[in-house]
Structure 1
């Protein structure tokens, strides 16, 4: 299985079953998930994903890009809740020994994308 196929399998497993149980064996024991505000271990991340499954039920996921370079796979998706906002998500996965070993995640609400183009500008007083 290629690294891209491993990431596709993990996403499909989560979306089709609505459970993290099929995802758990695809993660290395020392898996680490990183976000700009926090990092988590395998168990912490799986618990967070499990907790999000109910509020995110019915979410549509559109894969925009799926790119692989060596041990890294980049997944760019647009996600929509039935009655909620649309978000753009970029996940960067590192694969080691056929397992997901590390992940980085960036999430941006699509409606706020324009405002985020000028993040470097000084705040108005």
Structure 2
């Protein structure tokens, strides 16, 4: 099951990255899919696909380099680096996906701009130190 779940996530994201087709991605998501963000907000399948579709134009030409794909049971973790074309900013993204019944049922996403990584190593220190 772990290998199958990893394959589902890889195929879903390959469809989106390779074709830019949000509907192709949507076919891999369960009807009750929920996407969670670190700020405790979440989006339904329809809301998240609309947000992904809206981001496709400004992010056209984005380079995605997948560094790791790990799976354990029904969860798949993907670590990637993403760069805008022409030397634009770089981000590191960790996505956690939960697969249920052959479809992606939940997703969590953490994004960190590479340029801010050093500052985030001391997030607990008071400002101005």
Q: TM-score range by the shorter chain?
A: over 0.9
What SS does structure 2 have at the residue aligned with 1:114?
Answer: helix
Q: How do 1:46-57 residues align onto structure 2 when only pairs under 5 Å count? A: 46-57=49-60
4+ residue stretches of structure 1 with deviation over 3 A?
none
Q: TM-score, normalised by structure 1?
A: 0.97
Is 1:96–2:118 an aligned residue pair?
A: no
Q: How do 1:21-32 residues align onto structure 2 when only pairs under 5 Å count? A: 21-32=23-34
Q: Report the equivalent of 1:66.
A: 69
Q: Counterparts of 2:115 and 2:9 in 1: how far apart (Å)?
A: 27
Q: TM-score, normalised by structure 2?
A: 0.94
Question: Runs of 5+ in structure 2 lacking a partner?
Answer: none
Q: Counterparts of 2:28 and 2:105 in 1: how far apart (Å)?
A: 9
Question: Runs of 5+ in structure 1 lacking a partner?
Answer: none
Structure 1 residue 116 displacement after superposition: 0.5
